[in-house]
Amino acid sequence: MTDPQKPLGYLLKTLDRLLEERFEEALERHRLSRRQWQLLNVLAAGEETLGQLDEAVAPFLNTAAGETSERYLEPLLSGGLVAEKAGVYRLTDAGRTELRTAREAVEGLRDATVKGLDDGEYERTLRALEAMIDNLSA
């Protein structure tokens, strides 16, 4: 007899935990956290305020505990990857270079994550999850 299928919540939490762990491993040599990686990607598209950055990564912040992007920006600022002027943040040349090299590690992780999936299965999974989110958000 086979084991019953695990509940959706269990699978999502397990996948999230594993993604966090593997992102940490993949970005370790770049001394970046997953949140910092996300912020660098947001800033690669253009300059942003703290509020805009918070909004961009809101699903990954513990906003109930008052967490903001600021704690993740500090090391990026002190490391010269991000610059701030009058409350507006932007990537520096060093930040663009670091982001470019870190992308290789992340692309490897993404490839490993979807290994064995049939063509279109990843996209169908995303659409199904988005539909469930929409259903529960209504």
Q: What is the pLDDT of residues 40-94, one digit of tens each?
A: 999 999 999 999 999 999 998 988 898 999 999 999 999 999 999 999 999 999 9
Q: What was the pLDDT predicted at 1? A: 47
82 neighbors 73 (Cβ within 8 angstroms): yes
Q: What was the pLDDT predicted at 23? A: 87
**Any domain includes 2:** no
**Any domain includes 61:** yes
33 neighbors 27 (Cβ within 8 angstroms): yes
**Any domain includes 138:** no
Q: What is the pLDDT of residues 96-126, one digit of tens each?
A: 999 999 998 889 888 999 999 999 999 999 9
Q: What was the pLDDT predicted at 132? A: 95
Range of the domain at 40: 8-110
40 neighbors 72 (Cβ within 8 angstroms): no
CATH number at residue 76: 1.10.10.10
What total number of domains does the chain contain?
Answer: 1
pLDDT category at 20 given cuts 50, 70, 90 is confident
Full-model pTM: 0.74
Output DSSP code: residue 61. S
